[in-house]
């Protein structure tokens, strides 16, 4: 029965005063009644009658009142029986445990204080007088055998018949009993061997009110059916004795596992409060709401939210301890210990345990109070320690804002004047054998420094800090070089006037919407968007909306996409404001200024890793706020809901006059944005489409500025090194260590539960990649911008403007065209629309990249790094970085130059030939000879890129080829090429790196030779080898008169099969491979288009057959990984593993959950497929495990290479399996790269994976224990335990392989 019903029953005069302790102490009405009754002899109902108006109609008949009392007692009794049967809580009819009351009057008189109620009642009584703290007992009947036991009633018995809803309760109990009997009977039929437990008596499971005759008949019939089934079962056992013995062995093993599972530490559950918790999304939304209220100093709204959810039992489950502790911190700021005490009671009432943050809030509050009792503080600390916490742990694990640390310390020193928070001890060294030598190097260690002085580094940090505090960066577009015409000036002025009007209109509408949401007097406790609309200044919301208008595609954008973009921008600004408000900025500045001494060239400090020194400074400067805040991320639903609210304002309020282009026409206002619907496949999607007038106005105005968030731009100072999963990269902008799908939390939970030392190697490698300084290749950038502004060039991958798009044909539905002509015209129109959309996207992407590069042309800048859930690293700035296309890479240079040395110029020439793609199957000597032979073309390309012979334009990577030509020309013409300082990065690329890892795992000799793990005189081209094998199969089929094989004669080459071979190791299916081959065949002009589908299907089949013959070990490992993932997913778990460097990984593929979101414009259905509370998606889990596992290995190899290159003092960056360094240090990097690959695969990777999977999933015992499920469980354990045989390949030979990376 809910608290509300109990209160209503008490108001009706049903319950005696002694039963009031059953009521929730969180209910204000109950507390009011208790306190009133404690000090007054007045009848409680008389007191309530003055304050409470019952909805029940009064009647004079006293019999009805007695009946009502009897009804309530029957309901309570039935409810207790139901709870006892369901095992919900430990409820005993003979001993009803009543919650202790808080005697406020006695406590205040004893302690002279009114602020003690934060402790539970039992602890209060112990602290006052342990001898008087005996528990109060209620009068109950004693249990007697064979008799029904219940709470003794104080009212006369009633013969009134039960109501229908009581009968319904009984019916539910009877149905449950039948289900239990049915389950037990099936188990008895399935497992005929001796039972561990006796079958429950059918009569004992019947309700007490059931007649004896009915119970006996049920028992007899059940016994008859049991005998019949038993005889049938015995016959089955005689026939299948072996299978029964096997099943018996499985059950015996499962019983042992169940015992181990019961004895396991609950903390071993990785996703406690996350995976498998059905209230995660709701808890996340409530916590975000409370934090938003806290940011706005809106304590009343936050308190109302928590209390409203706590009062209703069904909503109380949606609250967790973190929500209560967050509210406690708000009350601590107000110095209200009484409110914190009530929240402690609510935590216990909700069945939760106070965490350390709860006690921190109480101590903070005590520190803010002027005359807090020593006894109260001592009792709080004592209770903290009784719950397993230590006072020193407060300063090691908790996060502090503003002066919270000082207030907690002040309160503790009242009890212990000599207390000093201990600095956090240095974390243990990473125990991975792969990096033990790196961290345990004997002797003095010197790490490389930047070519910048200390003062300049500090000045750069201050600039970066100001940029992030402003949150928005406005830069000039590269189109600014165009001459400004009078028409452009006129259009720009009109656009500026319109924006001023739109701003006023949006501000007014935004104020009205806030006023409406704030004044919701009917439901002040209900969560709405009001706190989120107060996080920023009103003008900032309007500016975000106005910036969004110009970025909408001319053909429209999905409402969900625009809403997410707006919501995420608000969240980023809110996170930055929150850090500023919590006074973290000054401390961050002080620590970074000290950290810069490690990197500056004019200081001597250089024997720390960046992470080590930053952690050292954190421990040293441990006063004041923490460096990072524990912000809760917003859910997808909240982000879209907030964004759609702003989109609704934009659609309603932003209007444009129809005569904006022609002033002579009649003026009328029309919306700038339209909400419409369109179909994508078979789904109807809501779109926001701009009016063509706006698009024409923007095009004619040709504005020359672009606005970006600060986190989109490269940093102008070295990034903050990653010291934990929560702190690193940007100064203020929120950045995740592991990027994932928005709303997925399982990755962050895994990282936070990891030992800090296990992540050291991963964090250090990310910091090393981010510390590489860059600059812009200005001559290359100028050349590219000139072509960009001159209508682009598709051949050179510079997208043309929309003016070069194909013209749209006119279509008149009323014309007399034939159906075939109409259909063809419609297809052409659809293709032109698609082509125009692609051209617009590519043009804008190029515009952003080139504009950012142009903005940074005179700067030195850095790319902070993070990683995806597989461990693959990526630069955080999304547009301009070295992972971009050929154009972007061509304009990037290392900021630090190094002399070429003896072999540097040769490496530049070899790198040039690699970029052209002309001599892939030739040796390095042959490539170098070819470069020397075409030296005239190289110099001509450098001197006359657009007017000469333009040799560089025929290369695979033309712009990087041209940049390399220029570098070679400068070096060759220098007085001494060995002393020429080169800033150009030289690449070494893995030879089909995924297959290299598979071949090394299986020690496959044939596979290892095919992918250059074996030393060879010339590079082995696996793509060419597969193409030759496919051609051999084709010839055999052509001789058998297979038509498609005959048509493909002369068309099978390396280019056709390369993409499929490259991606098959990463899980591409035959369907995806067919699409890849189809695309390549369509590019061949002479190939008959009518046979493209059939030919692509044939080729992909032969590619897979060829790979099976060439890579037998690879296919065996891939099949084992796939089958393991399939069985794990079917058992109900996501696939999880740990990389050799200790990085935990979990696959976020779950069944899609649809959430309906009601927005002002339309109802939105959000498809969420990363929700860990849903069952895993078996197909995605099994298909993704092999490629994801290999990706985690290649990322491990890259991280190891990065660490040891840093130790060697050389520059290193990577694009996954393509490693970059200076020409001088290519030989050193190649040596380290090969050594770390051998060291990685010397580890028992597959054996370790098997052991981890067995230990992780051995507890996935099927609950129902059906034979099919048990057999599947046994098969899963057998597959996970399978030992794969290895080949005879000697891994040490990789060290001597020239073309392993080349």
- What are the residue numbers of the active site? 989, 1058, 1217
Q: How far apart are CA 1200 and CA 1141, in angstroms?
A: 9
DSSP state of 902: T
Instruction: Give kind and range of the element (H or E) at residue 135.
Output: none
CB contact at 8 A, 1215 and 1160: no
Both tokens of 648, joined, read 């609704």
Strand partners, 1167: 1154
Q: How far apart are CA 1248 and CA 510, in angstroms?
A: 58
**Bridging pattern class, strands 727-729 and 720-724:** antiparallel
Instruction: Give kind and range of the element (H or E) at residue 1220.
Output: strand 1218-1221
Both tokens of 895, joined, read 């900021």
* φ, ψ for residue 1155, nearest 5 deg: -115, 125
Both tokens of 962, joined, read 């041209």
DSSP state of 451: S
DSSP state of 625: S
Instruction: Please state whether 944 falls in left (phi above 0), alpha (psi between -120 and 50) or beta.
Output: beta
Both tokens of 888, joined, read 């972007």
CA-based angle 1055:1059:1061, to the nearest 5? 100
CB contact at 8 A, 674 and 686: no
Which residues, at least 6 apart from 1218, have a Cβ–Cβ distance to it below 8 Å? Answer: 987, 988, 989, 990
Both tokens of 948, joined, read 């000469």
Torsional sign, CA 740, 743, 744, 748:
positive
Buried b (16+ CB within 10 A) or exposed e, 1075-1100: ebbbebbeeeeebeeeebeebbbbbb
Instruction: Give kind and range of the element (H or E) at residue 903.
Output: none
CB contact at 8 A, 137 and 401: no
Both tokens of 294, joined, read 């806290």
Q: How far apart are CA 1036 and CA 1058, in angstroms?
A: 22
Q: Which long-range contacts (CB under 8 A, 24 or more apart) does 957-961 make?
A: 957/886, 957/889, 957/915, 957/916, 957/917, 958/796, 958/797, 958/886, 959/780, 959/784, 959/796, 959/797, 959/886, 959/887, 959/889, 959/890, 960/886, 960/889, 960/890, 960/915, 961/912, 961/915, 961/916
DSSP-assigned states of every residue in 239-306: HTHHHHHHHHHHHHHHHHHHHHHHHS-GGG-TTTTSTT-TTHHHHHHHHHHHHHHHHTT-HHHHHHHH
CB contact at 8 A, 788 and 854: no
Which stretches of 860-944 are DSSP H helices?
Answer: 886-890, 904-916, 924-933, 935-943
DSSP state of 1284: P
| Residue 87: Cβ-neighbour burial (10 angstroms; 0-12, 13-18, 19+) | exposed
SS3 809: coil
| Residue 129: Cβ-neighbour burial (10 angstroms; 0-12, 13-18, 19+) | exposed
């Amino acid at each position: 029965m809910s608290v509300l019903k109990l209160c209503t029953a008490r108001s009706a005069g049903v319950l005696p005063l002694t039963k009031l302790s059953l009521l929730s102490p969180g209910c204000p009405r109950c507390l009011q009644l208790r306190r009133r009754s404690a000090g007054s002899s007045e009848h409680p109902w008389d007191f309530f009658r003055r304050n409470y108006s019952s909805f029940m109609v009064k009647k004079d008949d006293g019999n009805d009142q007695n009946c009502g009392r009897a009804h309530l007692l029957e309901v309570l009794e039935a409810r207790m029986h139901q709870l006892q049967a369901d095992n919900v809580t430990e409820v005993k009819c003979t001993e009803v445990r009543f919650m202790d009351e808080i005697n406020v009057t006695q406590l205040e008189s004893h302690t002279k204080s009114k602020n003690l109620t934060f402790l539970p009642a039992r602890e209060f009584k112990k602290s006052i007088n342990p001898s008087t703290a005996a528990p109060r007992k209620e009068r109950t009947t004693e249990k007697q055998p064979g008799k029904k036991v219940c709470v003794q009633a104080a009212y006369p018995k009633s013969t009134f018949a039960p109501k229908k809803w009581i009968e319904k309760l009984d019916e539910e109990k009877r149905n449950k009993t039948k289900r239990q009997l049915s389950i037990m009977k099936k188990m008895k039929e399935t497992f005929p061997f001796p039972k561990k437990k006796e079958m429950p008596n059918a009569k004992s499971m019947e309700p007490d009110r059931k007649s004896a005759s009915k119970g006996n008949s049920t028992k007899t019939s059940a016994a008859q059916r049991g005998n019949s089934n038993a005889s049938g079962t015995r016959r089955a056992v005689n026939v299948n004795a072996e299978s029964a013995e096997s099943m018996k062995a499985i059950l015996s093993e499962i019983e042992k596992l169940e015992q181990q599972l019961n004895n396991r530490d609950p903390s071993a559950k990785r996703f406690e409060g996350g995976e498998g918790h059905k209230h995660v999304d709701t808890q996340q939304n409530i916590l975000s709401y409370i934090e938003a209220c806290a940011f706005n100093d809106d304590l009343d709204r936050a308190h109302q939210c928590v209390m409203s959810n706590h009062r209703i039992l069904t909503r109380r489950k949606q609250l967790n301890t973190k929500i209560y502790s967050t509210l406690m911190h708000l009350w601590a700021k107000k110095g209200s210990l009484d409110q914190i005490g009530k929240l402690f009671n609510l935590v216990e009432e909700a069945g939760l345990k106070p965490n350390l943050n709860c006690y921190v809030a109480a101590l903070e509050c005590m520190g803010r109070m002027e005359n807090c009792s020593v006894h109260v503080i001592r009792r709080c600390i004592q209770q903290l320690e009784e719950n397993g916490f230590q006072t020193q742990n407060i300063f090691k694990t908790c996060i502090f804002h503003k002066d919270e640390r000082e207030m907690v310390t002040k309160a503790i020193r009242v009890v212990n004047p000599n207390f000093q928070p201990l600095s956090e001890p240095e974390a243990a060294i990473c125990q991975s054998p792969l990096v033990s030598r790196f961290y345990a190097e004997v002797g003095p260690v010197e790490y490389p420094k930047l070519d910048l002085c200390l003062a300049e580094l500090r000045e750069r940090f201050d600039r970066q800090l100001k940029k992030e505090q402003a949150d928005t960066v406005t830069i000039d577009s590269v189109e600014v070089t165009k001459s400004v015409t009078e028409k452009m000036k006129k259009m720009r002025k009109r656009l500026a006037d319109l924006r001023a009007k739109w701003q006023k209109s949006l501000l007014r509408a935004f104020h009205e919407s806030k006023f409406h949401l704030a004044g919701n007097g009917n439901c002040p406790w209900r969560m709405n968007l009001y706190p989120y609309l107060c996080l920023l200044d009103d003008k900032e919301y309007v500016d975000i909306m106005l910036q969004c208008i110009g970025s909408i595609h001319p053909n429209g954008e999905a409402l969900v996409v625009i809403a997410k973009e707006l919501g995420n921008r608000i969240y980023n600004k809110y996170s930055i404001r929150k850090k500023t408000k919590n006074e973290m900025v000054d401390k961050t500045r002080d620590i970074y200024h000290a950290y810069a001494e490690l990197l500056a060239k004019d200081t001597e400090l250089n024997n720390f890793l960046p992470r080590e020194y930053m952690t050292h400074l954190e421990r040293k400067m441990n006063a004041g706020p923490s460096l990072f805040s524990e912000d809760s991320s917003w859910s997808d639903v909240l982000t879209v809901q907030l964004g759609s609210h702003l989109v609704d304002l934009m659609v309603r309020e932003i209007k444009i006059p129809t005569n904006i282009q022609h002033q002579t026409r009649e003026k009328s206002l029309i919306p700038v944005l339209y909400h419409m619907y369109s179909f994508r496949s078979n789904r109807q999607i809501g779109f926001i489409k701009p009016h063509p007038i706006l698009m024409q106005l923007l095009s004619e105005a040709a504005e020359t500025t672009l606005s970006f968030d600060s986190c989109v731009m490269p940093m102008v100072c070295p990034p903050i090194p990653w010291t934990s999963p929560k702190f690193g990269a940007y100064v203020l902008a929120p950045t995740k260590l592991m990027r994932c799908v928005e709303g997925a939390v399982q990755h962050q939970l895994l990282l936070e539960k990891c030992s800090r030392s296990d992540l050291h190697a991963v964090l250090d490698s990310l910091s090393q990649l981010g510390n590489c300084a860059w600059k812009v290749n200005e001559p290359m950038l100028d050349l590219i911008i000139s072509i960009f502004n001159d209508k682009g060039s598709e051949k050179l991958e510079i997208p043309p403007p929309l003016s070069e798009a194909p013209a749209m044909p006119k279509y008149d539905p009323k014309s007399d065209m034939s159906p075939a002509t109409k259909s063809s015209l419609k297809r052409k129109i659809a293709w032109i629309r698609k082509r125009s959309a692609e051209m617009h996207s590519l043009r804008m992407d190029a515009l952003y990249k080139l504009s950012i590069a142009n903005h940074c042309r005179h700067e030195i800048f850095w790319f902070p790094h993070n990683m995806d859930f597989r461990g693959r690293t990526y630069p955080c700035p999304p547009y301009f970085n070295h992972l971009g296309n050929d154009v972007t890479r061509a304009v990037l240079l290392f900021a630090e130059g190094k002399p070429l040395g003896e072999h540097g110029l040769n490496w530049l020439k070899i790198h040039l030939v690699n970029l052209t793609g002309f001599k892939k199957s030739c040796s390095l000597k042959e490539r170098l000879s070819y470069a020397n032979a075409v030296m005239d073309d190289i110099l001509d390309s450098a001197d006359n890129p657009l007017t000469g012979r333009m040799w560089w334009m025929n290369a695979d990577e033309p712009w990087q080829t041209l940049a390399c030509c220029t570098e070679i020309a400068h070096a060759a013409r220098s007085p001494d090429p060995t002393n020429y300082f080169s800033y150009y990065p030289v690449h070494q690329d893995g030879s089909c790196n995924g297959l290299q890892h598979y071949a090394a795992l299986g020690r496959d000799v044939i596979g290892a030779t095919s992918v250059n793990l074996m030393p060879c005189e010339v590079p082995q081209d696996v793509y060419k080898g597969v193409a030759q094998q496919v051609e051999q199969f084709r010839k055999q089929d052509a001789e058998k008169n297979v038509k498609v094989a005959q048509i493909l004669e002369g068309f099978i080459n390396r280019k056709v099969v390369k993409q499929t071979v490259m991606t098959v190791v990463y899980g591409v299916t035959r369907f995806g491979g067919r699409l890849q081959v189809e695309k390549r065949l369509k590019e061949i002009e002479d190939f008959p288009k009518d046979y493209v589908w059939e030919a692509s299907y044939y080729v992909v089949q032969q590619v897979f057959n060829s790979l099976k013959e060439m890579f037998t070990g690879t296919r065996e490992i891939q099949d084992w990984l796939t089958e393991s993932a399939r069985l794990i997913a079917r058992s109900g778990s996501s696939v999880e593993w740990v990389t050799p460097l200790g990085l935990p990984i979990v696959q976020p593929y779950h069944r899609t959950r649809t959430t309906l979101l009601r927005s002002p414009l339309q109802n939105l259905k959000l498809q969420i497929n990363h929700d860990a509370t849903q069952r895993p998606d078996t197909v995605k889990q099994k298909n993704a495990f092999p490629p994801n596992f290999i990706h985690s290995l290649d990322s491990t190899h890259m991280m190891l290479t990065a660490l040891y290159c840093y130790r060697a003092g050389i520059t290193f960056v990577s694009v996954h399996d393509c490693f970059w360094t200076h020409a001088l240090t290519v030989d050193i990097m190649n040596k380290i790269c090969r050594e770390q690959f051998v060291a990685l695969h010397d580890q028992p990777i597959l054996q370790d994976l098997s052991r981890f999977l067995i230990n992780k999933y051995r507890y996935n015992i099927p609950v129902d224990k059906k034979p099919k499920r048990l057999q599947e469980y046994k098969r899963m354990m057998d597959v996970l335990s399978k030992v794969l045989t290895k080949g005879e390949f000697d891994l040490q030979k990789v060290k001597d392989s020239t073309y392993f990376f080349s």
